[in-house]
Amino acid sequence: MSTRRQFIQTLPAVGTAFAVAGHLVLEDNPARAQVATVPLKEHFHPKGKAPSKYTLDVLKQARGGLPFADQRDFEELKKGFIAPMTDFKIMADAGHVAWDMERFQFLDKQDDFDSIHPSLLRISKLNNNYGLYEVIPGIYQVRGFDISDITFIRGKTGWIVYDTMVSREVVRAAWKLFQQHVGQGLPVSAVIYSHTHPDHWGGVRGIVDEADVRSGKVPVIAPVDFMDFTVSENVYAGNAMNRRLFFQYGLLLPAAPHGYVGQGLGQAVSAGAMGLIAPTRYVEKPIEEFEVDGVRMIFQNTPNTEAPREMNTYIPDMKALWMAENVTATVHNIYTLRGAQIRDPLSWSKYIGEALYRFGLEAEVMFASHHWPRWGNARIQEILRGQRDVYAHLNNQVLHFANQGVTINEIHNIYEVPKGLQDKWYCRGYHGSPEHNSRGVVQRYLGFWDCNPATLIPLSPRDSAPLYVEMMGGAQKIMDRGRQLHDEGKYLLASEIVNKLVQAEPQNQAAKDLLADIFEQIGYQQENPGLRNSFLAAAYELRSGIPQGETANTSSPDVIRAMSTELFLNFLGIRMDSRKAEGMRFTINLITPDNGEKFIVELENATLTNIKGYQAEKPNLTLTINRSDLEQTMMGAKTLEAQLADGSAKVQGDPSILKQLASTMVEFDPRFEIMPGTKGARVAAKENPYEASDLRLPIAE
Ligand SMILES: [Zn+2]
């Protein structure tokens, strides 16, 4: 069975399929003549264009203003190099390619690309490192096997592992390389998860046997409440996030100079099997010290920073500071483009400040789960101070402007990172751009509304757009002016009016092609990969449409197990189309004896609610099922009906209620339209890029 990620690995081939179809469509379309620019032969898409002279200018100016004389990142990256990984491809157990570094080798073949922002190119070249490195004697990292790194620390009896990347196949390959050169055949003696994001735990089964964890032989250590937040962050809006990842991560774009060039934190997310082994020991206090396999470690909990639960670790006897994902070689997301609750830059800054004064004044090496280490106390202090300040400044200066009336619709054009920080590579926005982060801060404190009533209950874009088109004098006038603005390099202005036309006339392919051309130039100009990918992904879908295919539900059992029953019931309330539940009314007592939980589940007022720990006196139905059996239903592996038939579920009362409830449920489909008129690609993708359930998707950051 092919997966969405597998499809992504095969994209160059699929790109060709689109290319053929694209030509056919172009020939059929008389409006084609209106798009003056000639497609670029080397571009992966038949309608793709070269960067314009305005875009070249923007990139040239950026190059001149960036601190390229500072080469320390490249020196630090190479330091401690032990061995390269010679296989560019790592295969998944399922037979497809789980990891492919081959497709990023083009980045090293040229010093410069006219379609890639020089700063983005720089981080992508840095992320092309692929092999085994010594951090200091006793601490080693395997880098470039996934979006994240894996770290091995010598304990008394074996190797303590810090974070386990996304999938087991890449972890296994990393372990093999490590053992060939350094590992001395010693086993894994402990695992530490720095935080709740899957690129820090998904590969654990590649390196640890669950039986050894259960027996207590291999402790798995994580910040407090780890399991509660591991799944919950991505469930309720999971399908929407899944879809939006196609923009933020550019999932349909091939790795190419005019396409995908990396993700800033790393080159990409690996596509092997994801699993989760629950922690056996939690770090509960703000600061906690204990020994792990004979190594003294001081843990610093940093809740609500990069993740809802995260922790840094200091190893005093090695003067080594692990900053998890709180301090890497970039500014992180405060707002995540795939969609997430806004993070707290002020507390993030304060935790870095605390790490600086608690550990950073004596630390001699600092490393993290992305990018590469920093050596020497002066360098560590420099970076901790810079990172502390870049988050604090974002928070403070955005609110400074907001308190003077600057709105969420203006802040990104006004907010600027101070010059002193702009000149530090580790304060560049390879994950969080100053533009979308500053808007995120306003959203965090004030929400979406700019306080102008005209934007308070606005018409939907498709309802307002026809009037705009009419008032602007019709489609042709907009096309002419849009083309003119495009040809003058005024891309944001051009997108304002051409977007209105596309909203009003979703089937106007000439308008969609022009908007794609405009977006493409804006995309080329971006330093931030999320912004670049979003513009290029929209251009792709405007030109080619959304690939169609079967969707399948293949949730990882480990991830389902991590989901609480309450979370599952809450999500049922979201999956229910309340319009189908009008007039229904019932009360269910749900009992899961094996974990001692009980719930009231009630449908009333076309709304499904649940309350944990209660039972109704006169329910219409009592459903008794072990939580371990309920998981079959949660995974979609077995229906509740089948469970009733085989006796694993029991009911008292009116069982037809379950049918009623099932009739209101909707399966979310991630192929919904973002740009108008993009549904239904001209060529159906043979393999399905969307084959991933909302629960399984490795949203990695
Ligand atoms: Zn990460």
Expressed in angstroms and rounded, the spacing between residue 556 Cα and the centre of ligand 1 is: 19
Expressed in angstroms and rounded, the spacing between residue 490 Cα and the centre of ligand 1 is: 36
pLDDT of residue 231: 83
Expressed in angstroms and rounded, the spacing between residue 353 Cα and the centre of ligand 1 is: 21
Expressed in angstroms and rounded, the spacing between residue 102 Cα and the centre of ligand 1 is: 22
Expressed in angstroms and rounded, the spacing between residue 411 Cα and the centre of ligand 1 is: 28
| Mean pLDDT value across residues 209-221 | 97
| Single-letter amino acid, residue 139 | I
pLDDT band at 670 (very low <50, low <70, confident <90, very high): confident
Expressed in angstroms and rounded, the spacing between residue 130 Cα and the centre of ligand 1 is: 17
User: Are the C-beta atoms of residues 370 and 148 closer than 8 Å to each other?
Assistant: yes
pLDDT of residue 550: 53
Task: Please report the sign of the dihedral spanned by the C-alpha atoms of residue 34, residue 37, residue 38, residue 40.
Answer: negative
pLDDT of residue 558: 86
Q: Above 90 in pLDDT, residue 573? A: yes
Give the residue among 348, 555, 332 at the shortest CA–CA distance from 436. Answer: 332
Tell me: the pLDDT tens digits for 435-457? 999 999 999 999 999 999 999 99
Q: Above 90 in pLDDT, residue 132? A: yes
Q: Above 70 in pLDDT, residue 211? A: yes
Expressed in angstroms and rounded, the spacing between residue 302 Cα and the centre of ligand 1 is: 15
The one-character DSSP state at 173 is H
pLDDT of residue 57: 98
Residue 16 or residue 431, greater confidence: 431
| Mean pLDDT value across residues 366-388 | 98
User: Are the C-beta atoms of residues 82 and 134 closer than 8 Å to each other?
Assistant: yes
Expressed in angstroms and rounded, the spacing between residue 312 Cα and the centre of ligand 1 is: 13
Expressed in angstroms and rounded, the spacing between residue 200 Cα and the centre of ligand 1 is: 6
Expressed in angstroms and rounded, the spacing between residue 369 Cα and the centre of ligand 1 is: 7
- Mean residue pLDDT across the chain: 91
| Mean pLDDT value across residues 519-539 | 98
pLDDT band at 551 (very low <50, low <70, confident <90, very high): low
Q: Above 80 in pLDDT, residue 13? A: no
pLDDT band at 10 (very low <50, low <70, confident <90, very high): very low
Neighbours of 19 (CB within 10 A): 17
Expressed in angstroms and rounded, the spacing between residue 666 Cα and the centre of ligand 1 is: 32
User: Are the C-beta atoms of residues 338 and 699 closer than 8 Å to each other?
Assistant: yes
| Mean pLDDT value across residues 159-171 | 97
Expressed in angstroms and rounded, the spacing between residue 503 Cα and the centre of ligand 1 is: 36
Tell me: the pLDDT tens digits for 498-523? 999 999 999 999 999 999 999 999 99
Q: How far apart are CA 51 and CA 70, in angstroms?
A: 28
pLDDT band at 557 (very low <50, low <70, confident <90, very high): confident
pLDDT of residue 133: 98
Expressed in angstroms and rounded, the spacing between residue 393 Cα and the centre of ligand 1 is: 23
Expressed in angstroms and rounded, the spacing between residue 134 Cα and the centre of ligand 1 is: 21
Expressed in angstroms and rounded, the spacing between residue 542 Cα and the centre of ligand 1 is: 31
Phi first, then psi: what are they for 49, rounded to 5°? Answer: -115, 160
Give the residue among 180, 187, 206, 161 at the shortest CA–CA distance from 83. Answer: 180
Tell me: the pLDDT tens digits for 115-131? 999 999 999 999 999 99
Tell me: the pLDDT tens digits for 338-361? 998 999 999 999 999 999 999 999
pLDDT of residue 4: 39
Tell me: the pLDDT tens digits for 38-74? 999 999 999 999 999 999 999 999 999 999 999 999 9
